[in-house]
Structure 1
Amino acid sequence: MINRRTILTAALAAVAAPLVTQAARAQAGMSRITAYAFAFPALDGGAISLADYTGHPLMIVNTASLCGYTPQYAGLQELWTEFHGRGLMIIGVPSNDFGGQEPGGSSEIAATAQHQYGVTFPIAAKAVVNGPNAHPFYKWAAAARPRDVPRWNFHKYLIGRDGYIAEVFASAVEPSDTRVKTAIARTLAET
């Protein structure tokens, strides 16, 4: 015969199990993968390992040479000039995902970014940033912020010193926007 105590114990166990699982997930979250786990092939060969910038804020931007937002390269270079000395790393990730606006190879990408806009921050080799074939960093970012995935070129992820996404800025938000500069300053001030 089942008594009241057995029923209560079973009910409490059923209610507590999901809470224990949530607590375990939260504790496991402390060791979740961060942005620093990823690397991009560099435009000029070699690799851009985000682990080399552990503890530094990162801005990862998917770029394109033939986009209406391409002049944002100049604004990104201004951010680089202003904040790099304080620890900010910017990485441009050329992608042909949106409107086929990055059709060229490495030399064409370099001509636009480095020669036309004077970019001195690292540029990755062309990568897929959307969908099932996306670069692992972009898959990670999409899992972390599914409502904030790139919808066009010059989508900006700001990664905090802890390696997690601190802010996301849509393509239309200029690098010189006060919101961007304030978010960068905030991540640089974190300890």
Structure 2
Amino acid sequence: MAGPPPPCATLLVFTLLFLCTEAEGFAALQTKVFKYRIWDMDQKLLYLRNDQLVAGHLQGANAALEEKVFWVPNRSFAQARQPVILGIQNGTRCLASPAAPRPTLRLEDTDIRALPRAGDASAPFTFFRSYKDGMWRFESAANPGWFLCTSARAHEPLGLARGPDATRVLDFYFQLC
């Protein structure tokens, strides 16, 4: 009959568990946040107005209103779909689109670096990137077939649409700052 493990074996097990836990925590702290500019194919930039993200032509002094987009990869989803979580204001406010028959887009106060660890609960914050002819599209993970869009008219809120039409623009330029 085997007795208890020797003290050095127990210490080794606890040390390995501690190191694994520390490594996971360190990896979570090391989530790289990328800073990009985003504008639609009609050259409308994103900015905040009345706590909504809108797209419009910003010129002169108004150019300083442009919101930079911060993003992190979301490894909870198939990497082939290029899943990302998008936010503004250094990643403290993230775009969210909870599952719904007619989905809407909103800003939620949350830390962009914490969301990739949320697994399936991060779906409302996740968008799948696709690239074609120099332009990007962002499909909602929680609402398949719905894409991030701007209005064809300037200074309207960012939203979601099923596809491009005369009133919605789904194609964006996405450039590292």
TM-score between both structures, scaled by the size of structure 2: 0.31
Higher strand share: 2
Higher relative contact order (CA 8 A, sep 6+): 1
Q: What TM-score do the two structures reach when normalised by structure 1?
A: 0.29
